[in-house]
Structure 1
Amino acid sequence: MNIEQVREYCLTLPGATEDMPYGKDWLVFRIEGKIFLHIWLEAPLPTATVKLTPERGEELRDAYNAISPAYHLNKTHWNDISIEEGLPEDMIKSLIDESYQLVLSGLPKKVQVKYSEAV
């Protein structure tokens, strides 16, 4: 996948929005104002940063060289995934979905229901 494909996929998720709150070199995707994915457009290697449970992040970091602690974010919860090498497209999409669902699960139940009905 490339950055544009990641962007397009994120925008297919119900309620997903994008913005650039940190300036022109950061693209952020949100659900109900809560971030589920960051893309640093000036990164040396194209990466997407996803939120995972600490256990899941550690498990994936141990298993894949293409997944590492997030460079600019809380390394316990955020993970950089190399999007152009090392991971198949379906796995990248799955990790994006996992991040989206994790953030959605932290929202009020009323909001969660709204999006579960949209799927």
Structure 2
Amino acid sequence: MDTAAVIVTVAGLGLAAFVLWYFFFSARQTASAVSSSGGVQEVSINVKGGYSPSVIEVERGKPVTLNFYRDEENSCSEELLMPDFSIRRDLPAFQTTPVELLPQVAGRFEFTCGMGMLRGALVVK
């Protein structure tokens, strides 16, 4: 191998490692749900190249409303999947879509876009 091939190979491996770290191991923004006067826990989530916040903490046994605001037209973010709660929602661009659920079991429940590239989690305590 000549010098150029070594440089390209090392740069490619470095970029692949960065992508793996970014999507699977980087720190995620965490938010706790705020209870309204009616006892419903609410969180607003911005969808733009990912979920912000991407980790939401809620209390078990209390109703939850997740308000997803999709701030883009990227086709990857047009669908929300929460398989543990049997939820599939279309997220229209530049609109807020409320998702209501009642978590009965403590644990960590993943949610993704339809393609599985955008990831978030609901942590039930």
TM-score after normalising by structure 2: 0.28
Higher strand fraction: Structure 1 or Structure 2? 2
The higher radius of gyration belongs to: 2
Higher helix fraction: Structure 1 or Structure 2? 1
TM-score after normalising by structure 1: 0.29
